């Protein structure tokens, strides 16, 4: 699917380009013309305009994986 056909759906990761700098988030829902995202690794949900949400690049996917991979603590 090309980027012009990509639509943010629930549980997918996306980039809010309306923020400066752009913010990474997992789509939680759509409501009242907005896309709601939750940052990977935790934090407050925010609303973004669907026109300003795009698919993550490979570099952004690397950051998402880094922030969502559990860290195992050995010998505390």
What is the dotted CATH code of the domain comprising 13-68?
Answer: 2.30.30
Query: What is the Cα Rg of the chain in Å?
Result: 14
Q: How is the chain split into domains, by residue range?
A: 13-68
pLDDT in tens, 32-70: 999 999 999 899 999 999 999 999 999 999 999 999 998
pLDDT in tens, 51-61: 999 999 999 99
Tell me the pTM: 0.84
- Cβ(36)–Cβ(46) below 8 Å: yes
């Amino acid at each position: 699917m090309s980027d012009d056909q990509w639509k943010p759906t629930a549980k997918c990761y996306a980039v809010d380009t309306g923020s400066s700098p752009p913010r990474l988030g997992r789509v939680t829902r759509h409501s009242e013309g907005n896309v709601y995202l939750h940052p990977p690794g935790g934090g407050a949900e925010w609303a973004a305009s669907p026109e300003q949400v795009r698919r993550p690049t490979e570099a952004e996917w690397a950051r998402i994986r880094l922030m969502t991979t559990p860290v195992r603590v050995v010998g505390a």
